[in-house]
Amino acid sequence: MSLELASTRAELDRLPARHRDARAAVRQRAPDGPGPDGPEPVTAARTAVVMTMGALHDGHAALVRAARAHVGPAGSVVVTVFVNPLQFGAGEDLDRYPRTLESDLKTAEAAGADAVFAPSAEEVYPGGTPQVRISAGPMGERLEGAARPGHFDGMLTVVAKLLHLTRPDVAFYGQKDAQQLALIRRMARDLNFPVEIVGVPTVREDDGLALSSRNRFLSATERRTALALSRALFAARDRLGAQHALGARAESAPTSDARAAALSALGEARAAADAHAVAHAASRTPQARGWGAHAVRSAARVVLDQAVRDSPSFTLDYLALVDPADFTEVPDDHTGEAVLAVAARVGRTRLIDNIPLTFGASQ
């Protein structure tokens, strides 16, 4: 069945029935349902939504594919395309943001979408700018919220409206916008939205650059400079992984300073240095070993500081290691999940990236 395009709520409301009719032959037996002599139960088709501002790339396609896999052939996948004016502040790139609907339709269909909902601003905000909006609260004032005041209020307002308009069972969002994802999850929980929120891992270019619709604004030189964001995140991840590996050896290996001294006396300098490191790690707390948040931030900061020195077009906005639940900075003795987030301006283009980390566990 070909992709459907809707630009109004009325057009969108007519689509699910057509999708269900087209898939009426797809029936799924419940695990404990009646036998062959009884009626065969049918699992209700589910609807998934993938919200975008258009200019679709492989990262968006990954979201659509994840949505299709989740709802199966009997479900419906709707992609929304709407450049939301409420989440752009004064001097930001609302007018510059790319509009590529024809290309977006092809990308969405190839990835498995059933419909694209591309409403006008008048359809989403009848009567003009809404007087009542959703507040992102304290989490919405940190990091991206501090850099872009009001951004998350506008984002949550349009997400709430699009959830009402599309009425999905499940909604898919990219981990690349980690703070946005955390806020949407919080809104759905706090305001009792009857929808499951699913995060999908960041999709990257072969060289590590996170896919973004704004990457097209980068010159070839700026794109090379922009790689500092992902390199910084990977350096931090590798530092944490190395410290976890050293800690695991320290806990399991019967290594001692005496053995290290003996190896040194025999001229085995490299082996002695390794034994010293393991013995030293075994005798110290995890934070003293360098496992703490400070060491991870420092590994990323080295890369970013070098980028600032190497390129006048690179301006660091923030580097933060935060709790994924509320995006507050984690302490140096943090254990458990964390998100290392970075934002920078490369030339005229502002980019963000992040990576999830787990402290106190093998990587």
pLDDT digits (tens, 9 = 90+) for 138-193: 999 999 999 999 999 999 999 999 999 999 999 999 999 999 999 999 999 999 99
Between residues 292 and 223, the one the model is more confident about: 223
Q: How confident is the model at residue 249 (pLDDT cuts 50, 70, 90)?
A: low
Q: Tokens for 299?
A: 């590994």
Is the pLDDT at 268 greater than 80? The verdict is no
Q: How confident is the model at residue 351 (pLDDT cuts 50, 70, 90)?
A: very high
Share of the chain above pLDDT 70, in %: 79
Which residues belong to the active site? 60
Distance CA 142, CA 256 (A): 46
Is the pLDDT at 5 greater than 70? The verdict is yes
Q: How confident is the model at residue 19 (pLDDT cuts 50, 70, 90)?
A: low
Location of structure tokens 């507040």: 135
pLDDT the model gives residue 215: 96
Distance CA 298, CA 294 (A): 6
Q: Which of 197-206, 236-245, 266-275 has the lowest mean pLDDT?
A: 266-275
* Mean of pLDDT values over 246-265: 61
pLDDT the model gives residue 262: 57
Share of the chain above pLDDT 90, in %: 72
Q: How many CB atoms lie within 10 A of CB 122?
A: 10
Is the pLDDT at 94 greater than 90? The verdict is no
- Angle in degrees, CA 228, 89, 220, rounded to 5: 30
pLDDT the model gives residue 285: 52
How does the average pLDDT of the chain come out, rounded?
86
pTM of the predicted model as reported, rounded to 2 decimal places: 0.83
pLDDT the model gives residue 22: 44
